[in-house]
Amino acid sequence: MSVAEETLALEAGDAPAAAARPRGISNVATLFLVTADFMVLAGLVAGYYGVRSQSFNWPPVGLGTYLPTMVALTIVMTVITVQWAIWSIRRDDQRTCLAALGVTIFFALAILNAQWYGLAHLNFGVGAHTYGTFVYILTAFHMANVIAAIVVLVAVLARTIGGEFSADDHDTLTAAAVFWQFCNVAGLVVFAVLYLHP
Amino acid sequence: MTTAEEPRTDSSQGYGALLGGTDHKSVGAFCLVLAFVFLLTGGVLAAVLRTQLAQPNPDVLARKPYLQLLTFHGSFSFFLFLLPAWIGLAFAIVPLQLGAPRLAMPRLAAMTAWLYVGAAGFLVATAFAQKGAPANGWSMDYPVPIHGISGRGVDLWIFGVGLAALATILGAVNLLTTALRMRAPGLTLARTPMFTWSMMVSSAVFLLAGPALIAGLIVVYVDHHMGAHVLRVNRGGDPDIWRTMFAFFAYPAMWATVFPALGVVSEIVPVFAKAPLFNRKAAMFAIAGAGTLAFLGFGSELAGDPAIPQTLFSVTSVLILGPVALVMLTWLATVALNRKAPSLKAPMVQALGLLACLGLALPAMAVMEALARGGAGHQSQWWVGAWHQLLVGVATFGILAGLYYWAPKLWGRHLNAGLGGLQMLTVVGGVDLAFIPLLIVGAQGMHRRATTFSSDSWTPANLVSTIGAYLLAAGVALFLLNLVVCVVLKRGAIATDDPWEGDTLEWATTSPPPAHNFDSLPEVRSSRPVHDVRKAAATETSGPPETSPELVEANA
C-alpha cells in the first residue's frame, strides 16, 4: 500500500497507527543518513590532509601495517557476506539469509576487536603528534560506525529469525545492508588514508 | 468543510503531547516553544551587548564578560532558535502540505526535538563551567581554543553545538524522506508547495553542511580535551582547519535559514494576491540554485586567510544574491501583474515587512561579499549589520510571518491582526535602526567583535543601533505576547478550516487537523489543489462544470 493509498484509505476517526508503513522509507532515509555520515568522514579526511601539508616527520617511523591490512581484508569479505544476505532474501531463502547475517556480524565483531587491539598497542598517544591524533580520530570514527551497524545488524537478524522479511518485503534488511556497506567504504577510506597514502 | 465552531481538541494535541507525543504537529510545536525561549534569551543578551556599545568607553561590562555574553547570544540565537524553529515549523507544516498523515519517521522527529533540549542543557551549562563560559564567539575561533585554556566550558559548548547539529541533520533526513516518499497522489515535485520546496533545499544544505561542523567539533574536542595539537600552529597543527570546517557549515547553514523564509512569503503572496505565483518554476529553480551557491561561497567567511582564493569566493558569494533577488521579483510581479490590490491581512502585512528588510539586506550583503576585506568586510561591524539584516530581518521574520499564516491551521486560532501590524512596524523599524548604523561604523573601521570604542564619531551610529535593538526586542516581545494571548490562552479569533482561501493541501483539512491529518484529500491536478476545488465548486453553482476536480472521499 503506497502512502497515498494509505492516506486515502483512512476513514474519519481511524487511528493512524492502523495504517501500514509506506514502502521504501527505510532505504531513502538510510541513504540520506549515510550521505551525512560520509560528509563527516570527508571533513575528517580533509582535516588530516590539511595538517599533513604543514607537518614534518610524516608519518612516524615504524608504524605497523599488518593488523590494519588484515582489518581491510576482513572488510572486503563482509562486502560480500552482507550482499549474500540480500541475494538470499530476494530468493525467499531465509535460512541462508540468516547465515549470511550471522557471518557478517561475526566479521564485524572481529574488525572491532582488531581495531581496539591495534589502538591499545600503538606506541604513541592521541596527543603525541598530529598524525597520531588522526590515527585515533579516524579509527574511532570507523569503530563507532561499526558498533552502530552491529546493533542494527543484530536487530535485523532477530527480525529475520522471526520471519519478518520476504522476497517482497525486505526494506529494513536492505537499509541495514546499505549502512554496513557504508561502514565498509569508510573503513577502506581510513585504511587508504592512514596507511596506503599517508 | 468550513466551520467556525470552537476548535476541536484531540488527545494527541494537548499540552501533554508536547512532551511525549510523536504527532508531527505536537513535535513541531515543541521545537517552536524551545526556539522562542531562546529567541527571547538571545534577544535579551543582544540588548545587554548593545547597551555596552551605546556610548564610548562604557563600563557596563568588562571585556571577558562581554565576549562570554556575545558567545551565548550567537550560540543561542542560531543553534537554539533559528535551527529548531525552522525544523519545528517544517515538522508541523510539511506533512500537511504534502497530504501525508504523518512524517516519515515520527519517533525520529520526537528524538530530534529532545536532542535540541539536550543541546540547550549543555549550552546553558557552560555558564556554570570551571573557568566560566567560553568567550571565543559563536564560531569558537576568537581564538580557537587549545588544551589547558578556556576551561571546561568549551567542552560543554562542543557537546551542545554537536547535539544541535545532529538534531538538525536528523530533522533534515526526516523532512527529505517525507517529501520524497509521502506526497499525495498527483503532487509531483514540480507541484510541491513553495514552503516545502524551500525546506527540501534547506534540508539538503543542512544534511551536507552539518557534518562538517561535527567533524570540526571532534577535532576541537580532541585538541582541547585530550591534549592533541591539530589546531596549535607551533606543534605541527593549523587553527585554520577548524575555521575552514566551521565556515563550510556556517555560511551555507545561515543561508539555509533564509530559504524557508522565501518559501513562506512565496506561499503568502499568491494567496493574498489571489493569483498564482508569477513564474513559479523560476522561483523553485532560484531557491535550489541559491542552495547550491551557498556551498560555493563558504570561503568568503575566511576572508584574510592567504590560502583562500578571495576573488573566487567574492564572486560566488555575490552570485547567490541573484537567485534570492529573483524570488523577490516573483513576489512583486505576482502582485503587480494582478488587477486587484492584494488583501492586507495579517500574514500579508508580515510578508511586506520581510520584503522591506530583504530589499535592504541584499545590497549590504553584496557590498560585503564584493569587498571581503577592509571596512565593509568580514572583520568589521558591516558583517554584523549585513548578516543580522538577513538573519533577523528575513529568517526570523519569516518564522513570524509563517506563524501568522499557519497558526489558524495548527491551533485553530488567529493571531491578533492589529497587534501584528504594530509588531511588524516595530520589527522593521528595529531591524533598520539596529543594523544599518552598524554598516556605517563598520565602513569606518569598527571591528566586528569590538567590546568598546573611543571614537566620538562612532557615537551617534552606535546609539541609534542600541535604540534599534531595544525596538527590535519590543517587536519580538509583541509577537510572543500575541502568540501567548491568542493561542496559549485561547483568546484569538476562532479560525475556519480555510480562513485565507489558501491554495495548498493543508487548507483541505480541519483547523486544527485531526491526528491523522486528513479525512479526505482533494485530487491534485496543479500546484493549487484547494484553489482548484473552490473554483470547481463555484463553477458548479453558476453552471455546468467543464472540468471538475472533485473531492476524492476517504473511503472511495
Angle, CA of B304, B307 and B309, to the nearest 5°: 80
What is the distance between the alpha carbons of residues A20 and B192, in angstroms, rounded to a whole number?
Answer: 24
Set out the domains of chain A in order of their start, with CATH numbers: 26-196 (1.20.120.80)
Chain B: give the shortest CA distance to residue A152, in Å.
Answer: 15
Query: Could you tell me if residue B93 is left (phi over 0), alpha (psi between -120 and 50 degrees) or otherwise beta?
Result: alpha
pLDDT digits (tens, 9 = 90+) for B306-362: 777 778 888 888 999 999 999 999 999 999 998 889 999 999 999 999 999 999 999
pLDDT at position A15 is: 42
Q: Judge whether A174 and A87 are in contact, CB under 8 Å.
A: no
Query: Is it the case that residue B261 has pLDDT exceeding 90?
Result: yes
Query: Is it the case that residue B545 has pLDDT exceeding 70?
Result: no
Does B307 touch chain A if contact means CB atoms closer than 8 Å?
no
What is the distance between the alpha carbons of residues A119 and A96, in angstroms, rounded to a whole number?
Answer: 35
pLDDT at position B340 is: 87
| CA A174 to each of CA A31, A97, A121, B429: distance values in angstroms, whole numbers, following the listed order | 11, 12, 36, 55
- A155-164, B132-141, B198-207, B279-288: range with lowest mean pLDDT: B132-141
Look at the alpha carbons of B12, B18, B24, B28 in this order and tell me if their dihedral is positive or negative. Answer: positive
Nearest 10 degrees: Cα torsion B105, B109, B112, B116: 170
Contact residues on chain A for B518, CB-CB shorter than 8 A: 7, 10
Per the listing, cell 493569483 goes with B275
pLDDT at position B227 is: 86
pLDDT at position B300 is: 83
- A28-32, B445-449, B464-468: range with lowest mean pLDDT: B445-449
Is B13 among the domain residues?
no
Q: B117: which 3 cell numbers? A: 533540549
pLDDT at position A52 is: 85
Per the listing, cell 491554495 goes with B503
Contact residues on chain B for A10, CB-CB shorter than 8 A: 101, 516, 518-519, 554
pLDDT at position A155 is: 97
pLDDT band (50, 70, 90) for residue B15: low
What is the distance between the alpha carbons of residues A179 and B4, in angstroms, rounded to a whole number?
Answer: 50
Kind and range of the H or E element at B552? strand B551-552
Name the residue among B414, B383, B267 with its Cα closest to residue B330: B267
- Count Cβ–Cβ pairs < 8 Å, chain A vs chain B: 158
Contact map slice: B 516-535 vs A, CB within 8 A: 516-521
| CA A192 to each of CA A27, A41, A81, A195, B103: distance values in angstroms, whole numbers, following the listed order | 28, 13, 22, 6, 39
Range of the domain at B289: 25-519
ipTM score of complex: 0.90
pLDDT at position B13 is: 55
CATH number, position B369 = 1.20.210.10
Is it true that the peptide bond before B512 is cis, omega within 30 degrees of 0? yes
Is B351 among the domain residues?
yes
**Average pLDDT over every residue of B139-148:** 78
Query: Is it the case that residue B548 has pLDDT exceeding 50?
Result: no
pLDDT at position A14 is: 43
Per the listing, cell 529469525 goes with A161
Query: Is it the case that residue B265 has pLDDT exceeding 90?
Result: yes
Is B86 among the domain residues?
yes
pLDDT at position A58 is: 72
Q: A54 in helix, strand or coil?
A: coil
- Tell me which long-range contacts B547-554 makes (C-beta under 8 A, separation of at least 24): B549/B522, B549/B523, B549/B525, B550/B523, B551/B520, B551/B521, B551/B522, B551/B523, B552/A8, B552/B520, B552/B521, B552/B522, B552/B523, B553/B520, B554/A8, B554/A9, B554/A10, B554/A11, B554/A12, B554/B518, B554/B519, B554/B520
Name the residue among B34, B38, B39 with its Cα closest to residue B397: B39
Query: Is it the case that residue B550 has pLDDT exceeding 90?
Result: no
Please report, in tens digits, the pLDDT of each residue of chain A (198 residues total): 444 444 444 433 344 444 456 778 999 999 999 999 999 999 999 999 988 887 767 777 667 889 999 999 999 999 999 999 999 999 999 999 999 999 999 999 999 999 999 999 888 888 888 888 999 999 999 999 999 999 999 999 999 999 999 999 899 999 999 999 999 999 999 999 999 887
Q: Which of B104, B236, B556 sits opposite A130 (nearest CB)?
A: B236
Name the residue among B444, B437, B493, B499 with its Cα closest to residue B467: B437
Give the type of residue at B311. T
- Name the DSSP letter for residue B7: P
Is B539 among the domain residues?
no
The average confidence (pLDDT) of chain B is 91
**Average pLDDT over every residue of B42-68:** 92
| Residue B463 CB coordination number (10 Å) | 16
What is the distance between the alpha carbons of residues B331 and B401, in angstroms, rounded to a whole number?
Answer: 15
Considering all CA atoms of chain A, what is the largest pairwise distance in Å, rounded to the nearest integer?
72
How many domains, chain B? 1
Is B146 among the domain residues?
yes
Is B493 among the domain residues?
yes
- Tell me which long-range contacts B449-452 makes (C-beta under 8 A, separation of at least 24): B449/B67, B449/B70, B449/B137, B449/B142, B450/B53, B450/B381, B451/B52, B451/B61, B451/B63, B451/B66, B451/B67, B452/B52, B452/B53, B452/B56, B452/B57, B452/B58, B452/B63
Name the residue among B205, B223, B211, B331 with its Cα closest to residue B259: B205
Is it true that the peptide bond before B211 is cis, omega within 30 degrees of 0? no
pLDDT band (50, 70, 90) for residue B549: very low
Q: Judge whether A63 and B257 are in contact, CB under 8 Å.
A: no
What is the distance between the alpha carbons of residues A55 and A48, in angstroms, rounded to a whole number?
Answer: 10
Strand partners, B380: B447
Q: Which of B172, B181, B183 sits opposite A28 (nearest CB)?
A: B181
Helices (H), B257-279: 259-273
Angle, CA of B461, B462 and B463, to the nearest 5°: 90
Query: Is it the case that residue B376 has pLDDT exceeding 90?
Result: no
Mutate to test the interface with B, among A10, A38, A55, A182 (most CBs of B within 10 A): A10
Is B387 among the domain residues?
yes
Q: Which of A15, A16, A32 sits opposite B176 (nearest CB)?
A: A32
Name the residue among A69, A148, A73 with its Cα closest to residue A105: A148
Name the residue among B537, B497, B495, B496 with its Cα closest to residue B519: B497
Query: Cβ separation of A50 and B182 shorter than 8 Å?
Result: no
- A110-124, B140-154, B258-272: range with lowest mean pLDDT: B140-154
pLDDT at position B233 is: 81
Is B556 among the domain residues?
no
Query: Cβ separation of B228 and A25 shorter than 8 Å?
Result: no
Give the type of residue at B285. F
Query: Is it the case that residue B148 has pLDDT exceeding 70?
Result: no
Query: Is it the case that residue B1 has pLDDT exceeding 50?
Result: no
pLDDT digits (tens, 9 = 90+) for A139-174: 999 999 999 999 999 999 999 999 999 999 899 999
